Amino acid sequence: MLLAEALFHALKDRGAREVFGIPGDFALPYFKILEDSQILPLHTLSHEPGVGFAADAAGRFNSRLGIAAVTYGAGALNMVNPVAQAYVEKSPLVVISGAPGKLESMRGLGLHHQVKRIDSQYKIFEEITCAQIILDDAKTAPKLIADALDRCIEQSRPIYIEFPRDMVAVEVDPVPAFHPSCEDMEAARACAKEVLAHLNCAEKPCIMAGVEVRRFGLEEKLAELTHTLGIPVVTSFMARGILVDTEAPLIGTYLGLAGTEEVRKTVERSDGLLMLGVILSDTNFGVSKREIDMRSVVHAFDRDVHFAHHSYPNVPLEFLIEAMIEIASPLGDAKKLPAPTYPYGLKSDDSAIAPTDVACAVNDMFVKHGRMPIASDMGDCLFTAMDIENTALIAPGYYASMGPGVPAGLAIQATSGQRPLIMVGDGAFQMTGWELGNCRKYGWNPIVLLFNNKSWEMLRTFQPGPNYHDLDDWGFAAIAGPLGGKGVRVKTHAELIDALEAAQQDSSCFHLIEIMLERGEISQTLNRFVNAVKRLSVAK
């Protein structure tokens, strides 16, 4: 078969459901084979940052591979930021970049889209991917692809595939099937026994579930384990939106001083905290009132399990949880643990809207129409999402780049068929919100909540005063129509409630609800977060 077909079959066999991309002359040959072969559907978007955010989100949502296909130089380097975000937030993103053919790179001419040297792009992607390959040899290409894709899956991190345009149609053998690296189930059982003994000795055991639980598709298994154990389960900030509709005794999301006191005390006062797949980042732990004593923590991450003074190497999270399920017995009573609480019942009146009112209105809408998956951008919209009842959430909770909101929402619908709720600030919408213009051709119809405070408000809360936080009023609602959707600007509770209901009643296109907020009007969670950061930075 053709090398490009072998690559696309390998991606599909390992769970990829679609490709997001923008072609260029170095990529046209493999794009043509992608279209002709119909192995995977192609969704083109308008700007490579959107392609990267969308492909990353598709992978996160399905716990499968996300595929971004671009051209050399101007395309691939335009996508560095989203790939970096995928790397630190552990997303299995596959970057395919077209590239010059063997002969043209030997003519001694500077090629268009080339930077310093022909391999400059490869070197840049070495810094933000866990594996990099160049498909320049028909004999070795199938095995190279198999090994790189398997590392993408097992490490849940991006990989880089450089595809010279004179190689796409060479005849090759099929790519070998997924082959897990050796895992020692006996080591996992020994580790599980020690973890459970550790929890058993603790007076206040607690489990914190992190992003790896989602990335490796372990929510059901973790729910089974934690329901048996009957001890409190929290998610990290990054992992908000997992364990939805499961029997896990989930008491909330750990946000340190920015979250609820009950969750904070349960975590920070635990003498037996088990962290499963949790990224040790400032956004997950930066506003802890009390440093978590890592000597009493067991931390399973990146295929290692760390105790205070020793570790078990190469114990995948799936194997550890399986081994714990085999021998787990109750340590507490799940029924006695408190469930998270959320705001409901927004009054339909002429009051001005505050961010927390948006969460309230969305919760009311979910009660009436059913929950929706949420894609959130960085900004107060993400902190507001913490007050929305637990539902699948794709958000940049660690690397914290602006821009993923709209592309991620489109990806959720492309890859799952579910109508998403997108939450985005006006600043972030100015960056990638225009991808909504692609909804009509693909029949996507997200409901978009645009928090318009005419401001980079998050930055203003950290640094009040300068005018450079002020944004102009772009009148976003009026732009929705020409982009193929419907837009409405809302200023009161009643207008917001009516706009949400209208959007629910009309699935013919995307609905952009431009929510006007006063500058300085921020969510309670962001307010607690900023106060905690300020207090802790003074205290140190």
State which residue, 225 or 381, has the beta carbon closest to ligand TPW.
381
Q: How many Cα atoms sit within 13 Å of 224 on the Cβ side?
A: 12
What is the crossing angle of helices 405-416 and 48-62, to 10°? Answer: 50
Nearer to Mg ion, 210 or 427 (CB): 427
Q: Per the annotation, does 453 bind a ligand?
A: yes
**Minimum CB distance to Mg ion, residue 355 (Å):** 11
Between 175 and 378, CB nearer to ligand TPW: 378
**Pick 241 or 427: Cβ nearer Mg ion:** 427
Residue 163's binding partner out of Mg ion, ligand TPW, none, with CB under 5 to 8 Å set by partner kind: none
Point out which span in 216-224, 240-248, 278-286, 448-456 binds Mg ion (CB under 5 A). 448-456
Based on CB atoms, which residue is closest to ligand TPW, 37 or 46? 46
| Token duo for residue 118 | 């022909």
User: Which stretch in 34-42, 257-265, 352-360, 425-433 sits in contact with Mg ion by CB under 5 A?
Assistant: 425-433
The least CB distance from residue 431 to Mg ion, in Å, is 12
CA 383 – CA 473 distance, rounded (Å): 23
Number of CB atoms found within 10 A of residue 351's CB: 14
Q: Which residue has the tokens 């006007």?
A: 516
| Cβ pair 406, 429 in contact under 8 A | yes
Strand 250-253 with 272-276, pairing: unpaired
DSSP-assigned states of every residue in 409-439: HHHHHHHH-PPPEEEEEHHHHHHHGGGGGGH
Choose the stretch contacting Mg ion; rule: CB under 5 A; options: 33-41, 181-189, 420-428, 493-501. 420-428
The interface partner of residue 428, options being Mg ion, ligand TPW, none and the CB cut-off 5 to 8 Å by kind, is: ligand TPW
Give least dist CB 523 to ligand TPW, A. Answer: 9
- The DSSP letter of residue 171 is B
Distance (Å, whole) CA 457 – CA 463: 10
| Two tokens, residue 484 | 């193929």
Q: Which of 48, 426, 435, 495 binds Mg ion (CB under 5 A)?
A: 426
Q: Report how far residue 450's alpha carbon sits from residue 473's, in angstroms, rounded to the nearest whole number.
A: 12
Least distance from Mg ion to the Cβ atom of residue 454, Å: 7
The footprint of ligand TPW (CB under 6 A) covers 378-381, 400-403, 425-428, 451, 453, 455-459
Residue 453 near Mg ion by CB under 5 A: yes
Helices (H), 100-166: 120-126, 141-155
Q: Which residues touch 467 (CB under 8 Å, ≥6 apart)?
A: none
For the bound state, the minimum distance from the C-beta of residue 292 to ligand TPW, rounded and expressed in Å, comes to 26
* Nearer to ligand TPW among residue 159 and residue 458 (C-beta): 458
The verdict on 92 binding Mg ion (CB under 5 A) reads no
Number of residues that make up the chain: 540
- d(CA 446, CA 437) in angstroms, rounded, equals 12
CA distances from 435 to 11, 442, 447, 489 (A): 25, 12, 14, 20
Cβ nearer to ligand TPW, comparing 54 with 250:
54
> Which does residue 219 bind out of ligand TPW, Mg ion, none, counting CB within 5 to 8 angstroms by kind?
none
The site partner of 192 among Mg ion, ligand TPW, none (C-beta below 5 to 8 Å per kind) is none
φ/ψ region of 475 (left if φ > 0, alpha if ψ in -120 to 50, else beta) reads: left
Q: Which of residues 162 and 521 has its CB atom nearest to ligand TPW in the complex?
A: 521
Unique residue bearing structure tokens 């193929």: 484
Q: Which does 105 bind (CB under 5 to 8 A by kind): ligand TPW, Mg ion, none?
A: none
**Taking a C-beta distance cutoff of 8 angstroms, is the pair 358, 496 a contact?**
yes
Known binding residue 452? Answer is no
Pick from ligand TPW, Mg ion, none: which does 401 bind, CB < 5 to 8 A by kind?
Answer: ligand TPW
- Residue closer to Mg ion by CB (options 162, 457) is 457
Of all helices (H) and strands (E), which one includes residue 222? Answer: helix 219-229
Q: Smallest distance from the beta carbon of 380 to Mg ion, in angstroms?
A: 7
The conformational region for residue 141 under phi > 0 = left, psi -120 to 50 = alpha, else beta, is alpha
Residue reference for tokens 């594996």: 131
The answer to the question of residue 158 lying near Mg ion (CB under 5 A) is: no
**Residue of this chain nearest to ligand TPW (CB atom):** 425
Considering CB distances under 5 to 8 angstroms, the limit depending on partner class, which of Mg ion, ligand TPW, none binds residue 403?
A: ligand TPW
Give the binding site for Mg ion (CB under 5 A): 425-427, 453, 455, 457
Binding-site residue set for Mg(2+): 426, 453
Binding-site residue set: 426, 453
